Amino acid sequence: MWSNFVQQEEEGRMGMAFGGVAGGVVSRGGKRARAPRMSDSQEGKIKLTFFLVLVGVTLTVLGLGTEFWVELAQPKHFRNNQTCEMAHYGLWKSCVRTLWITDIDPKRESCGPAQLPGQSNCTYFKFYTSGENAVIFKKTTNKNLNLASAMLAIFSLFLMVMGCVCVIMSLSKNVPFLLKPAAVCFLVSGVLILVSIIVFHQSVLALLASDHSMPLNHELSWSVACVGSAGAILILGSILFILLALPFDPLEKCMPRTSRSDT
């Protein structure tokens, strides 16, 4: 009878201990220790860093949705006519523009830039529907490289959304431990978007090497600048989130040591 009473008492204590851990409360010396909450200054720093990351996400969406990743330009007098042609494309579609030579800078030897007024004919790539390659100025695209670049960019955007969800939950619950998975998501997404640019540039080089009968000048355009800037911003934001998720302030840890060394 006495052994049954002791066993029931131990089971009750174990149930209370597991219940406290499941509820986020740990009993230490008769006192309940809750998960650490973020201070007002820390919350302000997190919101500021989150705003910086949102700028990177916006630049990524802008770059992915536009078709100014690269510009391909014929020589200005290639057709011996009053007009010349150039093309620009992104991850999803390409556009061929016919420009007037009189509108082009006399010092420029190739047709362009794409911002000049002219007739434009845009078509979506068939990589994602029928699997066909596209032909631009007798040159054939490499669909494998184009698909890889697009998939990397889409997966990067998905990780950005997951990181934003983690930060929003961290701010709503007033707990900083969700900043670490958010930082990992932003770090990986920033690296992937930069890798996507590298793969896309390789696809452009493969396009130019597919046919040498027509000379073309190529240059990466402003959409790539947006995406590249977004990748750098996301990596910087991930580093800041990691520092904010630490249980101590790195500056406070460093400043006393420097002051002591000075004295």
- CATH number, residue 181: 1.20.140.150
Residue 20 domain-assigned (yes or no): no
Residue 92 domain-assigned (yes or no): yes
Q: How, if at all, do strands 83-89 and 93-100 pair?
A: antiparallel
Report how many domains make up the chain: 1
Q: What is the mean pLDDT of the chain?
A: 82
Q: Is the pLDDT of residue 232 over 90?
A: yes
Helix (H) or strand (E) holding 99: strand 93-100
Residue 12 domain-assigned (yes or no): no
Judge whether 98 and 119 are in contact, CB under 8 Å.
Answer: yes
pTM for this prediction: 0.79
Residue 126 domain-assigned (yes or no): yes
Residue 4 domain-assigned (yes or no): no
Instruction: Give start and end residues of each alpha helix (H) in the chain.
Output: 2-22, 40-65, 143-173, 179-209, 222-245, 250-262
Q: In sequence order, which residues have a C-beta less than 8 Å from that of residue 93 and are 6 or more positions away?
A: 67, 122, 123, 124, 125
Q: What is the dihedral of CA 65, 62, 233, 36, to 10 degrees?
A: -90
pLDDT digit string, tens, across residues 205-223: 999 998 888 888 999 999 9
Residue 88 domain-assigned (yes or no): yes
Residue 33 domain-assigned (yes or no): no
